[in-house]
Structure formats: C-alpha cells, structure tokens
Amino acid sequence: MADDVEYPALYLKRGEDQRLRAGHLWVFSNEVDVKRSPLTGFEPGETCAIIDHQGKAIGVGYVNPNSLIAARLVTRGLDHAFDRSLIVHRLNVALALRERLYAEPYYRLVFGESDGLPGLTLDRFGDVLVGQITTAGMERIKDSITEAIAKVLKPRQLWWKNDASVRTLENLPSYADLGVGEYGAPPIVREGGLEFEIDPVGGQKTGWFYDQRENRDRLARLVAGKRVLDVFSYLGAWGMRAAAFGASEVVCVDASQAAVDAIGRNAERNGFADRVRAVRADAFDHLKALREARERFDVVILDPPAFVKRKKDFAEGRLAYRRINELGMQVLAKDGVLVTCSCSYHMPRAALLESVQQGARHLDRQVQSLISLQQGPDHPVHPAIPETDYLKGFVCRVLPA
C-alpha cells in the first residue's frame, strides 16, 4: 500500500494505470489524481511512488509538476530505490547487449526508456562517453549517474551535452560541459573500418548518429563505381562509407561550415580526399541548383533532420518530405537509387513512402521500394512505447515511367 513507502505518493485517477500496466513508462498530467496528490506539492524531478486509484503501488518514478509528462516510471514495485545502484545495474544490462552486438566499443549505450533509464541518452566512443539528460528527474540525480558511469565504464572523458530543445519543456537550463576527465584531442568514432573526428560540445545531438550505422552498411551493394550525392551529410558518414564501398565520386552537402570543414578532415584521415568533396549549402537550394545544371547522380541519399517535430506540424512536415524527395529524384540518373530517411516520430513509415511515390508521379517516374530501413539494435524499440520507434527509411529504385 501507498502508506508503507518512503517516497511521496503520486496517485492516478481511476483507470489511468492501464498504459503503465501494459508496459509504458509515462504519466500525463491529466491522469494524476490532483485531489489526493496535488502536483504543486512536488518539486521538479522529485522521486515518487506511483500509486493506482485503489492504492496499489505500480512502482517508483520521478515527477515534474511543470511538464505535460508529469511522471516517468523507473522501476516496477517498491523493492528497489531510484539510486546509484539501480543505475549501475541498468548500465550493466545495457552494456551486455551492446557487447554482444558490436566488436568495438562504439555504440549508443543507453537509449532512454528502452533501457529502463527514461530521460538519459549515452553514446560511447571508445573510452569517451557523451551523455544527454532531458528530464528534471535525471538532472536531479546527475551526480549519481556520473558516479555509476565512472564505476561501470571508467571513461577517460564523460561529456554532458545537455542542450536538447526538449529540456525547455522540463524548465531545464541548456549547457554542455566535461563531467569526468580532462580536455584533450577530439574523440574519434570508428564505423565500418573508418575513423571520424567528432565534436561532443559543438556537434549535433551527441556528436554522431549511430542509429543509421546498419543502414549505411547496406550501401555496400549499391555504390561501387557510382556517383553519389549525400544530402544533410553532417560529418559525411553516409558519403564516406559510400567511398569505402567503391563509389567513384561523392559530393556531401550540409548547411554548416563546421560540418563541411570536418568532412574535409575526415576524408583526408580516411584517404578519400580525391573522391569526396563537401559543399556548404541549403539542401533544397543546392538540389535545385544541381537540377538546373543538369547534374546527375547514380545514388542520392537524403537523411534530413526531423521535419515533423510535433504532431501539429505534420501537414507542413509531410510537404517538406515530399519536396525534398522530389528534388532528390530530379538529380537521379535514369536507373538511380534513392536512399530516403525520416527521424520524425510523427511521420509514419507509410506516409514517408507515400511522399516518395507522390513526388515520383509528379515527375512521371516509377519507384520500386527495395529495402525498408529502421534504427539500429543499439536503439532498441520498446514494444509498449511507440515513441521509441522513430527512424524509418527506404532504399528505392527510381525508373522512367
């Protein structure tokens, strides 16, 4: 019963425990019984016991009275405290999976809810770790998380890249700093036998996108001897992998000068300076310019940032996906390959393929969908939490109608 627990109780309204009992970890503010447990009585990030309407404990979590997601469940039942030893245990469980999957220590080590640590992301780059905290509950025990990471992984450096826009929803400040270790040379990530220099402070997200690694592996059968265009290239991961698989020429396009400079360094580092070049440009503008110049590529890769960040942006975002895919197809050779992706959770897989098909019909082209793409296994999908299944993509063959 709730009276026996050491944590303050957060009571749910009648019937609002069903999603949690089915496996989800979130409690929305309108599901809380505010008469029995007023949200104003909690501090942001405070640990709580989540209790159903009948007084039965569901588990231990943390609460943020200022957020739409008012609480997140961390452990079921009341036997385990939300503390350093629980985090150590969850890190070890997460590590066991990644060590089974990958020969080298380069992967996403913690993927939030899917690894039982909602609000925490952790990427591993050898002996360097880059973490991101997105909730008040995790921010509140950041020191315990840091200690747990140091105990399990003994990193040379642990960077905190706590500048995600979602932190504003939790009323958290934005910052990036070194949590463990001393400043030194930039971290290196290894993928597919290549090395890339990353920036854990100034880079995007945690500095690298491991979620696309297995999808980039699929380029092996598609690019040998081909001319490849990598749009929204960031550090050139897709383009560089294409070069390693034998592409004759690779053009990477990104709007960031820092990214373009990094592509140059990474091409040099991997011995591709003669075949990989980077252009600083807006993707939409550059694709139009390439179309007007009648440039053609055998393979076009489109890996944009999320165009649909919120549900209400869906109509506008879907149009952006259609436009970018149509522009990509306009610079494809006659029997070309389009690799198209979306990391927008609110953009359904079927809607992405539909946007490709609509663009193709508008251009009087025919599309064959060859391979369906999803996030890698170091970003495991939690079956009860649809929000963890966000990355989708297709490898398509584009032919004249």
Residue in this structure with the two tokens 């609480």, named with its chain if needed? 71
Q: Classify the phi-psi angles of 178: left when phi > 0, otherwise alpha if psi is within -120 to 50, otherwise beta.
A: beta
Between the alpha carbon of residue 358 and those of residues 324, 325, 335, 344, the distances in Å are 12, 9, 18, 19
Here the tokens at position 394 are: 């297709």
> CA–CA separation, 9 vs 1, rounded Å?
10
Contact 240, 267 (CB under 8 A): yes
Q: Classify the phi-psi angles of 89: left when phi > 0, otherwise alpha if psi is within -120 to 50, otherwise beta.
A: alpha
Here the tokens at position 232 are: 């929204």
Contact 130, 123 (CB under 8 A): yes
To the query of whether residue 343 is one of the catalytic residues in this protein, the response is yes
The one catalytic residue in 48, 252, 341, 343 is: 343
Between the alpha carbon of residue 374 and those of residues 103, 108, 381, the distances in Å are 21, 15, 10
Here the tokens at position 159 are: 């960077």
- The per-residue DSSP string of 58-69 comes to EEEEEE-TTSSE
Active site residues: 343
